[in-house]
């Protein structure tokens, strides 16, 4: 394959991977030999799902194809080697429903919740819950847990530290009286599963994400970077302090004919401003741009991608890629106010 064809193929591949992909998560709640993952294709077209398991900084993947309307069941030990958290990725959002069960009992849907702060609501009469937390950050993080009673009173609080990426921490929590609300407050991205027993049946309490607030620095200008068009696919935030770069960024917004690729370097951590603005929970990313190298007409294909793909492959992006990004399809589309950065609500 000559270079021009390779570049075209790379553009098509990277565009397809960044258009509407979705990752849903599962905590390591039982042994692989006891787990079954059920995937149902809700569309009439062929669909594919990938299991994703983290081994150190690497992702181990297996793919599973489903004909239109088909359903498959996958034994946990087909893709898991131990009791650990995992994820499934699909290209088309909402095309597949993915659930997991342990020894044929509890069956729960895998969801895409990654917000560091969520709330679980419980029915009356519950005094014992089982909570599992899954770390979606590359380093250890401490998570605060708060249980509230029927009058909004704080019953008890705890702190749990999750050491490694994709690790699961499990807790059985007994309260002195009924608990109606459990708040989870993490430092970085995480995923949670809350189980309670009602009428001798185990049930799931869905995680309701809270939009995490930031305190943006007053000496920086913030810009939203996304795909052009009425429905941006994925969005992230950059912070600029260099006056020439700020002027160039504003020119990109005002002059629709300009098509400049942002070539930049990223580091670990959201930096107090970078979040997935197009996601429903506005979840902070685990990375942020710390230096913009250039606004370029062309860029190397090796640093192409998307915000979500960068999050998914962050260990490789930071090490093998040298932390450089240059998303070909993404442009500066809006200057953000401090309030928009702080609360993720773009006017």
Instruction: Give the per-residue pLDDT at 335.
Output: 98
Same domain, 95 and 135: no
Please, are residues 68 and 26 in contact by the beta-carbon 8 Å criterion? no
Domain finish residue from 109, 138, 167: 109
Instruction: Give the per-residue pLDDT at 10.
Output: 39
Same domain, 101 and 134: no
In the Cβ-directed half-sphere of 250, how many Cα atoms lie within 13 Å?
9
Domain finish residue from 56, 76, 109: 109
Same domain, 233 and 161: no
Instruction: Give the per-residue pLDDT at 20.
Output: 64
Say what the pTM is: 0.90
Q: Which residues of the chain have pLDDT under 50?
A: 1-19
Domain assignment present for residue 87? The answer is yes
Domain finish residue from 89, 109, 129: 109
Q: What are phi and psi of 341, to 5 degrees?
A: -70, -40
Closest-CA residue to 220 (of 279, 169, 271): 271
Same domain, 36 and 126: no
Instruction: Give the per-residue pLDDT at 21.
Output: 85
b/e sequence 173-187, b meaning 16+ C-beta within 10 Å: bebeeebbbbbbbbb
Please give the residue range of the domain that contains residue 175: 117-209
Cα separation, 345 vs 347, whole angstroms: 6
Residue identified by tokens 């007053």 is: 218
Tokens representing 134 are: 């899954």
The span from the first CA to the last CA of the chain, in angstroms, equals: 46
Same domain, 235 and 320: yes
Same domain, 202 and 276: no
Cβ contacts of 202 within 8 Å, gap of 6 or more: 105, 106, 195, 196
Q: Tens digits of per-residue pLDDT, 274-308?
A: 999 989 899 999 999 999 999 999 899 999 999 99
DSSP state of 275: B
Domain assignment present for residue 2? The answer is no
Q: What is the CB neighbour count within 10 angstroms for residue 218? A: 6
Q: What is the CB neighbour count within 10 angstroms for residue 310? A: 24
H-assigned helices in the chain: 3-18, 243-254, 307-312, 314-319, 338-343
């Amino acid at each position: 394959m000559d270079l021009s064809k390779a570049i075209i193929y790379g553009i098509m591949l990277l565009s397809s991977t960044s258009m509407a992909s979705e990752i849903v998560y599962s905590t390591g709640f039982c042994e692989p030999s006891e787990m079954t993952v059920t995937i149902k294709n809700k569309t009439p077209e062929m669909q594919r799902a990938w299991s994703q398991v983290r081994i150190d900084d690497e992702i181990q993947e297996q793919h599973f194809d489903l004909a239109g309307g088909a359903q498959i069941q996958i034994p946990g030990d087909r893709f898991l080697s131990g009791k650990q958290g995992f994820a499934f990725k699909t290209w088309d959002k909402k095309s597949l429903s993915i659930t997991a069960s342990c020894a044929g009992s509890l069956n729960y849907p895998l969801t895409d919740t990654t917000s560091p702060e969520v709330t679980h609501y419980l029915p009356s009469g519950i005094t014992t819950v089982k909570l599992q937390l899954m770390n979606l950050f590359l380093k250890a993080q401490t998570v605060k847990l708060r249980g509230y009673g029927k009058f909004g009173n704080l019953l008890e609080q705890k702190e749990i530290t999750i050491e490694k990426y994709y690790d699961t921490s499990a807790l059985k929590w007994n309260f002195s009286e009924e608990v109606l609300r459990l708040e989870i407050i993490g430092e970085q991205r995480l995923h949670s599963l809350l189980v309670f027993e009602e009428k001798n049946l185990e049930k799931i309490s869905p995680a309701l994400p809270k939009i995490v607030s930031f305190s943006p620095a007053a000496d920086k200008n913030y810009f939203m970077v996304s795909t052009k068009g009425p429905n941006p696919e994925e969005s992230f935030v950059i912070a600029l302090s260099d006056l020439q770069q700020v002027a160039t960024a504003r020119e990109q917004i005002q002059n629709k004919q300009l098509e400049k690729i942002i070539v930049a370097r990223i580091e670990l951590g959201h930096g107090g401003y970078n979040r997935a603005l197009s996601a429903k929970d506005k979840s902070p990313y685990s990375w942020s741009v710390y230096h913009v190298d250039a606004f370029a007409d062309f860029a190397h294909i090796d640093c192409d991608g998307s915000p979500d793909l960068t999050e998914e492959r962050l260990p490789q992006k930071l090490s093998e890629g040298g932390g450089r990004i240059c998303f070909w399809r993404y442009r500066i589309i809006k200057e953000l106010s401090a309030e928009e950065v702080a609360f993720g609500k773009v006017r």
